[in-house]
Every structure is written in C-alpha cells, then in structure tokens.
C-alpha cells in the first residue's frame, strides 16, 4: 500500500553536502560515513551506527528492561503448547472483539509497551513505518512484502488489547 502526498516544489534551497570519503568507506543514506572494516578472519564487522545515525541495540547489556524481556520470552516459551494454542484459537478465533482499520491499529500501538522489545526509545508506529519503507526501498516490486512489513507488529496490538485488557 502506497500513500501519495502532493508536496510543493521549492527548488534547491540547500547546498548539496559534499562528503569526502575514502574508497574503503561506506556512505549511508543519512550521510554517515561508516568505515568498511573486515575482521581478521575476512568476515564483515557490524558498524557502530545504522543508516539513521543511531547505535544498534546491545542485547548483552544488563538492565532492568533486559530482565523484563527475558521473563516475557520465558513465559511465551512455556505457553507454546498445542493445548494453549487451541484454547486461544477458540477464545479469539471468532474475530468478534473489535473492528478497526489497519491505520487505527498502528496508531493505537503507540500506547503499547512491548515486553519483548529491549529498545523503547522509538514509538511503535515509527518502527512500523521505517520497516515498511526500508522493505519498499529494497524490494520495490513486492507490494505484499511492504504491507507485511507495515503490519508485522499487529500481533502485539492483538496480544495487548485483546488478551491483557479483556
């Protein structure tokens, strides 16, 4: 799904950024220079920052949030049984709880705290849109994949609003 928004033409009002770079460096869309490094065994080393200039998650960091995430996954693994899934399918499979548009659901996701997510700095809707846009850029002809990327967090909404609040 693509939404086109008409934008006025302002012409070139800013000078184009000239970023000097070495042939061993990678320049990302955000203008951040990331050195192309190879590890001693010839493999790729993960850069310090992503294309938005933000650092990547540190999954090994000890924090109170990390304990919450670990507990969430522990409980989810316990509930991965045939009987549990059968019970939940019977309870929620009727699809009679709520009706709303995809966009309304995306907006409501901003109110949800994802217990499986160690990074709460970015609103859920921003994450969904960035993911969908990145997929659209990489796979421009696969519109089904763009939609999948946009709605991949809907299960979080379903879990929170239907399972926790009912």
Q: Which positions make up the binding site for Fe cation?
A: 127, 152
Rounded distance between C-alpha atoms, residue 140 and residue 69, angstroms: 34
* Three-state DSSP class for residue 79: coil
CA dihedral 29, 30, 33, 38 (to 10 degrees): -60
Residue 26: phi, psi to the nearest 5?
Answer: -110, 130
Give whole-number Cα distances, 94 to 22, 86, 90, 91, 106, in Å: 59, 13, 7, 7, 22
* Token pair in block for residue 109: 């996701």
The residues that bridge with 44 in the sheet, in sequence order, are 38
Q: What residues form the annotated binding site?
A: 127, 152
* Three-state DSSP class for residue 146: helix
């Amino acid at each position: 799904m693509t939404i086109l928004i008409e934008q006025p033409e302002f012409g070139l009002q800013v000078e184009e950024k000239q970023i000097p770079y070495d042939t061993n460096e990678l320049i990302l869309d955000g203008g951040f220079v990331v050195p192309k490094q190879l590890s001693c065994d010839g493999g790729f080393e993960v850069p310090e920052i992503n294309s938005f200039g933000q650092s990547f998650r540190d999954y090994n960091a000890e924090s109170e949030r990390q304990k919450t995430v670990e507990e969430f996954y522990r409980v989810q693994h316990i509930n991965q049984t045939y009987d549990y899934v059968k019970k939940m399918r019977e309870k929620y499979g009727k699809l009679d709880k709520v009706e709303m548009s995809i966009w309304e659901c995306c907006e409501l996701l901003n109110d949800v705290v994802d217990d499986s997510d160690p990074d709460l700095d970015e609103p859920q809707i921003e994450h969904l849109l960035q993911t969908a846009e990145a997929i659209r850029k990489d796979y421009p002809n696969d519109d089904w994949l763009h939609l999948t990327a946009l709605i991949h967090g809907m299960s979080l909404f379903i879990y929170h609003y239907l399972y926790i609040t009912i």
